[in-house]
Structure 1
Amino acid sequence: MISRRRFLEVAGAGASALALAACTGSNDEQPSKPAEQPEEEPEEQAEPVPVRTTALKGPTAMGLVKFMSEVDAGNLADNGYSFQIVASPDEVTPLIAKGETDIAAVPANLASVLYNKTEKGVRVIAINTLGVLYICELGDSVQSVVDLKGKTIYASGKGSTPEYGLQYVLEKNGLVVGEDVQIEWKSEHAECVQAIATSSGDAVAMLPQPFVTTAQTQNDKIRVALDLTEEWDAVQTGDEKSSMITGVAIVRAAFADENPAAVDAFLAHYAESVDFVNDNVAEGAELVGSYDIVPAAVAEKAIPECNIVCVTGEEMKERLSGYLEVLAEQNPEAVGGAVPGDDFYYGA
């Protein structure tokens, strides 16, 4: 099994130090008493506001589960948090457009599409999931990307980010789609698994988590050969680097402008939740199952491979902007026609 890395950046606020100068009298006078400093008034606590959040079933919602459970238990009262889990990105778009949700966990490219379609009406506040795509096979013939030469890759997601991510990794390793590697597109992940099971041995499948784990429970001979997130990272050069990214959290721009303290509080809770899920996989998996995101047994095996993170600020901007540029080079419509401007990135 290949090694995997996890990235975690917790959003926080820096603290500044104050220097006080002592007052003394002239040489022929006794030192005067230090001037009394006026008592600082405590900062006014921001009034709690409703924060409506929507997430998708799958990895992009997994990092939220501890946050959600704390809210349900009544342990977080700084704002009025509420959550809903939906099955399709198509359900999120109208909620954002109508102002019926404030924060949403969505596919990375959809965040860019919404930014363009709503005339800069959303901002990205965090990367919540890095790549979840894996090359799988029945056997052990694939140890590196170049070993894919001469093979057929069965995959689903044509015309969307899985296609663009796969092509980018192949091209960066000198493989030409249609010549060195064939890609056969299927409508469902299960079809890809069935295809490699009945192939002559020169076929592999590109599958996402947690479906990889689900497939392995049905056929324990399926082997993860390549982590496409690691392969993406391996071909990055220069100072500006991108990452393969699956999901992000976005906020309505109007909500962020009116309630910056609520957005910052949300990010702090979110980061703590991601930390908990990654460090307490069994407990996190039970919460994932309890919210009907995926079954707990699948979640426990899948969480370590789902690259759940909370990356914010400048690092978020560097990684995400580079990723969106890669997508735009292959198909501008994948990002809504144009890569977003700097105002897309909250806190960067």
Structure 2
Amino acid sequence: MIKIKKIIFIILGIFVLTSCSSFKKATNKEALEDSHAEYSKPVSNKIRIKTTSFSSAILLDCMKDDNDTYDVEHCKSFSEVQNGDFDIALVPAILAPSIYNASKQTVEISAITLLNNLYAVSKSEILTPKALIGKVIYIPDLGDSYQNMIDAKLGILKKLFGVKIERYKDSQELKEILDKDDFAIAIVSEPNLSKVAGHVDNIYRISDMLSFFPIKSNGKLDDFISEVILVNKNFLKDNKEAFDKFLDDYKASQAKIKNDSKISTDVINKYDINNQDAINIYQNMNNVYIEGDTMVGMYNLFLDYLEKAKLNFYQGDRPSDDFYYRK
């Protein structure tokens, strides 16, 4: 049973990585070049904000209409944020420590903004590790560097369970796969979850699957942290008041998105979705705003759990206390 638990944690670790895949990954060359870049502030009064997810893209798009001081960029790859070349960025929570290390500790986490945006879907039930025997698990195309990491961790899994990992390009391809294979398992996040929900019978939150296999910990991981806000310390030096205002605006804007809110063509095209569907999906996501000591405690519990479950896929050491921003 212990071996089975270790194997399931490897699988869940792969699931975690796939939550970071709402867009095309950079090539290894691009990632290497960007990792050596330095923070550079263009000659502009606007605050440079980079977003990497569907929910933050929706929210920041609405915030832009109310404030022309925000210059929002929808990233095409994680290489655009990994070295800290931004004023503010919204990134997957599991990658934040890597950005902290790659940027030479020049970023801070200021808020948790999204929970539980990671799911396993299938027509068949997934209630125990044995349900994975002989299955094909479909994950988003993560690029070669992530794929190599996954392949390196799958030796035992493939040998004992006969599991095969395949990639899918987009939600349309995944729909076709799920229609043909009643036993396929796919890992998705929003908005892809909503796009394929009608093609499966079972949807599982990854945080619920983690609870199937408890580990010894000082606390229970009730929610999986999906996204956080990072701020660059170089920007923060002379712009603390402006940054605090951004945080207040972000928190307030979460409640302002209504059924009749309008989304820009850029966001609609990026996620291949219409305006009303985008709003409906956003409103059904677990959008939160958690800051201060509650954020610090929750994120540290998150990292504790990942470390004990061997899911700490971030690069470098665990961040120290200077990683946490408090107003």
Q: Same fold (TM over 0.5)?
A: yes
For residue 35 of structure 2, what is the aligned residue in structure 1? none
Equivalent runs, 1:199-278 vs 2, <5 Å = 199=181, 201-216=182-197, 220-232=198-210, 235=214, 239-242=218-221, 243-277=223-257
What is the deviation of 1:85? 2.0
CA distance in 2, matches of 1:340, 1:177: 33
CA distance in 1, matches of 2:194, 2:227: 19
Q: What do the CA deviations read for 1:103-142 (whole angstroms, capped 9, x no partner)?
A: 011222332112112221000111222232222223xx42
For residue 63 of structure 2, what is the aligned residue in structure 1? 67
Equivalent runs, 1:133-148 vs 2, <5 Å = 133-138=118-123, 141-142=124-125, 144=127, 148=131
CA, structure 1 residues 70+206, in 2 after alignment: closer, same or farther (shift >3 Å)? same
CA, structure 1 residues 307+87, in 2 after alignment: closer, same or farther (shift >3 Å)? farther
CA, structure 1 residues 236+66, in 2 after alignment: closer, same or farther (shift >3 Å)? farther
Q: Report if the CA contact (8 A) 1:130-1:229 is conserved.
A: no
CA distance in 1, matches of 2:256, 2:114: 15
CA, structure 1 residues 299+236, in 2 after alignment: closer, same or farther (shift >3 Å)? farther
Amino acid at match of 1:196: L
5+ residue gaps, structure 2: 1-44
2:296 aligned with 1:320: no
CA distance in 2, matches of 1:299, 1:185: 28
SS of the counterpart of 2:81?
A: helix
- TM-score normalized with structure 1 length: 0.64
Rg larger in structure? 1
Amino acid at match of 2:235: F
Residue identity over aligned pairs, in percent, reads 21
2:104 aligned with 1:122: no
Give the length in aligned residue pairs.
Answer: 267
Amino acid at match of 2:87: D
2:67 aligned with 1:104: no
SS of the counterpart of 2:277?
A: helix
What is the deviation of 1:187? 4.8
- Runs of at least 4 residues of structure 1 off by over 6 A? none
2:287 aligned with 1:308: yes
Q: What do the CA deviations read for 1:293-323 (whole angstroms, capped 9, x no partner)?
A: 5322431342244322222122222332333
- TM-score normalized with structure 2 length: 0.68
What is the deviation of 1:264? 1.5
For residue 347 of structure 1, what is the aligned residue in structure 2? 326
What is the deviation of 1:327? 4.4
CA distance in 2, matches of 1:241, 1:314: 18
2:268 aligned with 1:287: no
Q: What do the CA deviations read for 1:233-267 (whole angstroms, capped 9, x no partner)?
A: 67587654444222211100122233222221111
Cα RMSD for the two superposed structures? 3.4
Amino acid at match of 2:263: L
SS of the counterpart of 1:87?
A: coil
For residue 152 of structure 1, what is the aligned residue in structure 2? 135
SS of the counterpart of 1:104?
A: strand
Amino acid at match of 2:103: T
CA, structure 1 residues 314+135, in 2 after alignment: closer, same or farther (shift >3 Å)? same
Q: Report if the CA contact (8 A) 1:51-1:81 is conserved.
A: yes
CA distance in 2, matches of 1:265, 1:50: 13
CA distance in 2, matches of 1:291, 1:221: 25
Amino acid at match of 2:131: L
CA distance in 2, matches of 1:178, 1:303: 40
Which structure dedicates a bigger proportion of its chain to helix?
A: 2
CA, structure 1 residues 237+246, in 2 after alignment: closer, same or farther (shift >3 Å)? same
